[in-house]
Chains A and B, each alone.
Chain A
Amino acid sequence: MTTTTDPAAAAVRSIGTARTRVEGRDKVTGAARYAGEIPFAELAHGWLVLSTVARGRVRSVEADPVLAMPGVLAVLHHGNAPRVESDFVGMLGVPPDPAAVVFQDDRVPHAGWPVALVVAETSEQAREAAETLVVHYDQEPHDVAFSAGHPGAYAPESAGYAEAAVEKGDLEAALAASSVVVDAEYTTPEEHHNAMEPHAAAARWDGGRLEVVDSNQGSTWVASELAQMFSLDPGAVRVRSEHVGGGFGSKGVRAHQVAAVMAATVLQRPVRVVMTRRQVFSLAGYRSPTVQRVRLGADADGRLRVLEHRSLSATSTVREFVETSAAAGRALYPADAHHTTHELVRLDVPTPTWMRAPGEAPGSFALESALDELAEKCGVDPIALRTRNEPDRGPVSGLPFGSRNLVACFEEGARRFGWADRDPRPGLRRDGRWLLGTGTAAASFHAGAGPSTAAVTAEADGTFTVRITAADIGTGARTALTLVAADTLEVAPERVRVRIGDSDFGPAMIAGGSMGTRSWAWAITIAARELRERLALDGTVPPEGVTVRSDTTEALGALSQKERHSYGAQFAEVAVDTATGEVRVRRMLGIFAAGRIVNPLTARSQLVGGMIWGISMALHEEAARDRNLGSHVGADLAGYHFAAHADVPAVEADWVDDQDPDDPIDIKGVGEVGIVGAAAAVANAVWHATGVRHRHLPIRPDRVLLAHTGAHDA
């Protein structure tokens, strides 16, 4: 038959129209299956056993009594597990997670380290046996206490994707020339992703091919790492991840997939491993606590001469990971002396990882709080202060900006929030027992793209199928990609089916770094455009369809160097009862410049979700670790608090017109910028309400109470 695309439909664009998720009905009716519930014939169930000591060696594993329990099939541990390769650098430029390289030796580098996997016929049998398994340890002294001035602090040579240290200009001279100086220390606690869906994977061998059904942020990433670990041909591993209940940086290769593959190999039958919520706290990475010192020096009018930001974070003894908090200001504000550096301390704790807006989330809390303090000291409006420090090139890099609309965000936000009426003096507004205040902060997050391949097929029935190893981790990526493909093909989105989450579709970028949708859309656009042109010449479609493939590697390599970022202006109004320490956010507004918005409905959800996370970061989130035991306390959703519905009042996100001129369809990314600056906006509002600065997150009732008791005593 003959397939035509419809240039007339080009007038009716899909991009920019609000669309509910194409899989939304499946999700709300339960038809959408997640990795932990996809049925397999002959499926066995593995349950991870984690170390209860914080440092030492496994002396012995008493497997025999457990093997005699009903349904138990195997107990894997360092004494009998298959050997795997771990000495490689994966697709994202980092080696595999040390805790995912399970059961290779007797070393226990932290509490919650995987020491065994119990496999049984049912999940309940496996759990009971795993909780019965006795593991003997030779315990060694541990250190899990993170603090400023830790004697083990050192300067790392590299900080992952960012430079560890950038020191431009003469700090002391610029400080001496400054008429106003802010010098303060800010801290943020250990924070966890806590995706709604815990990690889960099932592995099976099928005719010499390894198949893994998983919940991840990138099936190319997971498949390639598993192939390397198990020394398999890349084509011999297939990873699928159809629906994902959140990832936020935590869902790459973790202990559960590797343990499932090992067990499937040993037992020669499918094995599924699902983490419990408490296990997720130890096995899936987290955001390191930080201690950040910020020194700002400025002229009397607030123009910056000094921006110094030094951040200390923690890592494990088995991997170096830097929370790049100090990098947040490198492309945001100019200063004669611009010093941003990182230090690390190695502790007997799990290895931290990327968590929504890594670096920027904690870094913006410190930097944007310090700017508010500077505005206070200079007597300058906080928005005027930021406008006054708007650069025309990258402050450190000297590169031109792709598009920078931070000031437009502040102007639109100020108008809608009613900022012009604000009395800058703190502690003046009252509503019954509540003191009221407002605060603002800037947000920015890197806008990038990673190489991806896509295949777009014109089917004989007049529809189109897109195949790409994308991941929809709840963002609405599947729907956004449908709109992108429809517009490029010049057809209605109903004629386009987007298939994702299957490594057999070819290499693609992960859902991470706010780069997923942009990276995939780029690949789809190239393939769809070529397909449309081909069909325009000859619309004949054979029964097997017409397929065009694309690869963005070259196009991305040809991009000129620029500062490419999304921006935002965060506004918060809070109420504080200083007699009880309660802080309530009354309303929040975020105005963003995040490129062209593909699907306003899901983009708004992403941004609002980030802002709500910012409320949690400001007021609630904090993992507790017992120093004597070395392990978490309250590592579950009863103990680890984030905002409940009642904590989330009117939260509004919107955007200003913004384009990335170097992107084929002008998009950037909305995944992370929503959380950046949100906690600072809340903290700045708490100051405006009460006159007391809170430099330590979360701003808990006890901290508010003690600050005010102290203030009264003083």
Chain B
Amino acid sequence: MREFGYQRASDVSGALAVLDADPDARFIGGGTNLVDLMKTGVERPSRLVDVRELPLDEIAVTRDGGLRIGATVTNSDLAAHPEVRRRYPALAQAVLAGASGQLRNMATVGGNLLQRTRCAYFTDVTKPCNKREPGTGCPAVEGEHRNHAILGASGHCVAVHPSDMGVALTAFDAVVSYETAQGPGETPLADFYLPVGDTPHRETALPPGALITGVTLPPAPVAARSRYRKVRERASYAFAIGSVAAALDVRDNVVRDVRLAFGAVASRPWRARAAERALTGGPATAEAFAAAADAELAAAEPLRDNGYKVTLIRNLVVAVLSELAEEDAR
């Protein structure tokens, strides 16, 4: 039998001390991904440190009008929070577009950011996978890759990050806070996920043994009018094949501010800065939205069977921004 230790952390420093002493230990939040990976043998932790009862479950409005979200806030609580729904509706929509009610009741914000790709090669230990076993190769490049990356991938790995929540957080410039045995730190979510390169097994900028304590969203008036649209291969309970988080502020048919991020296109939630630049100060027309999407997607490098994602993201950008512009006009 494959045995592992389990303990519940009562404070952050205690939790950190366990991982400091045992690098094969893992923090567990809701366990909605880690437990699956343990069952399939992808993860074999020596010990689980349950951080779900740490006092990190608050959502508070910051002094400047942003939001501070604790790492152990559940997805359900995050999506239901009135300040989230008022200030960052796309974030609530993104969370509700993911998983099922039961999973959202368990899953935490910190765990959501650290969930692993659902690439079917990664989750099957009988298959080669550079992310799971560096140097074994990436069969998805030639194999089954309909839902793999079109942006920012490499020949070493073409997996996508599965999070919906992360896409909205990326659009709104979230900053990740963490603690280590050596002290606290923070990283903008935009820099949190490392480039794939030839090290797809190195996924985040978190120092070893670090515990995510929360996420801070800076104030963003534009986010009050925001939307998340997710497309998947069935109506619910499936990961995105493409998604868009968008916020738009239009005055006199001129784009004053815009936020745009894509899901299911890269190893991380993809902030579409080129598209944002193309739009800002320009007209809020379908043609401009399409041109902005094209500006972002010019860097896309589709594989044999996932070129449709370029069309899908482009169409989603136009559809979502057009809806937001119409609402602005009202």
Contact (Cβ within 8 A) A629 B308: no
**Complex formed: what's the CA distance from A125 to B2 in Å?**
8
Interface size on B, residues (CB 8 A): 34
Classify the secondary structure of A's interface with B.
Answer: loop
B328 at the interface (CB under 8 A from A): no
Q: Does residue A386 face the partner (Cβ distance < 8 Å to B)?
A: no
Asked if B298 is at the interface (CB within 8 A of a chain A CB), the reply is no
Are B139 and A701 in contact, CB atoms less than 8 angstroms apart? no
- Among A264-272, A329-337, A580-588, the stretch that binds chain B is A580-588
Asked if A499 is at the interface (CB within 8 A of a chain B CB), the reply is no
- Kindly identify, within residues 611 to 658 of chain A, every residue whose CB is under 8 Å from any CB belonging to chain B: 619-620, 624, 626-629, 631, 633-635, 638-639, 641-647
B308 touches A581 (CB 8 A): yes
Query: Would you call A619 and B234 a contact (CB within 8 A)?
Result: yes
Given known pairs A125-B1, A580-B316, A626-B144, the reply for A633 and B235 (CB within 8 Å) is no
Give the Cβ gap from A34 to chain B, nearest Cβ, in Å: 20
Is B46's beta carbon under 8 Å from chain A?
no
- Per a CB cutoff under 8 Å, which of B124, B139, B237 touches A628? B139
**Interface check B185, CB cutoff 8 A:** no
Main secondary structure of the interface of B (DSSP, over half): loop
B236 near A645 (CB under 8 angstroms)? yes
Query: Would you call A644 and B234 a contact (CB within 8 A)?
Result: yes
* Contact indicator B235/A629 (Cβ below 8 Å): no
Among A292-300, A412-420, A660-668, A702-710, the one that faces the other chain is A702-710
Alpha-carbon gap, A581 to B235, bound state (A): 12
**A80 interface residue (CB < 8 Å to B):** no
Given contacts A128-B1, A579-B315, contact A633 B231 (CB under 8 A): no
Return the contact of A701 from the options B123, B126, B233 (Cβ within 8 A): B233
Q: Check if B146 is an interface residue, CB within 8 A of chain A.
A: yes
List which B137-192 residues lie within 8 A (CB) of chain A: 139, 142-144, 146
Smallest CB gap from A121: residue in B: B1
| Count of interface residues, chain A, beta-carbon cutoff 8 Å | 41
Min CB–CB distance B110 → chain A (angstroms): 22
B118 contacts chain A at the CB level, 8 A cutoff: yes
Contact B126 A631 (CB under 8 A): yes
User: Closest residue of chain B to A616, judged by CB?
Assistant: B234
Known: A643-B234, A644-B237. A706 touches B308 (CB 8 A): yes
Asked if B41 lies at the interface with its beta carbon under 8 angstroms from chain A, I say: yes
B238 interface contact, C-beta 8 A: yes
Interfacial chain A residues near B238, Cβ < 8 Å? 641, 644
The reply to whether the CB of B127 lies closer than 8 angstroms to some CB of chain A is yes
| A-chain residues with CB within 8 Å of residue B118 when the two chains form the complex | 638
**B19 / chain A contacts, CB cutoff of 8 Å:** none
**Chain A residues positioned under 8 Å from B120 (CB to CB):** 624, 633-634, 639
Q: Using Cβ atoms and an 8 Å threshold, which residues of chain B touch A461?
A: none
Q: What residues of chain B lie closer than 8 Å to A701, measured between beta carbons?
A: 231, 233, 241, 308, 312
* Cβ-based interface call for A206 (8 A): no
Q: A702: which of B143, B235, B308, B319 is its contact (CB, 8 Å)? A: B308
A647-B1 in contact (CB<8A): no
Residue B13 is within 8 A (CB to CB) of chain A in the complex: no
Q: Identify the 3 closest CB pairs spanning chains A and B, nearest first.
A: A634-B120, A646-B235, A646-B236
Additional A-B contact list (18), CB under 8 Å, known A639-B120, A644-B235: A70-B1, A122-B1, A124-B2, A125-B1, A278-B124, A580-B316, A581-B312, A620-B234, A624-B120, A627-B142, A628-B139, A633-B120, A634-B144, A642-B234, A647-B235, A647-B236, A701-B231, A702-B308
> Which residues of A are at the interface with B, using a C-beta cutoff of 8 A?
52, 70-71, 122, 124-125, 128, 131, 278, 433, 579-582, 584, 619-620, 624, 626-629, 631, 633-635, 638-639, 641-647, 700-702, 705-706, 709
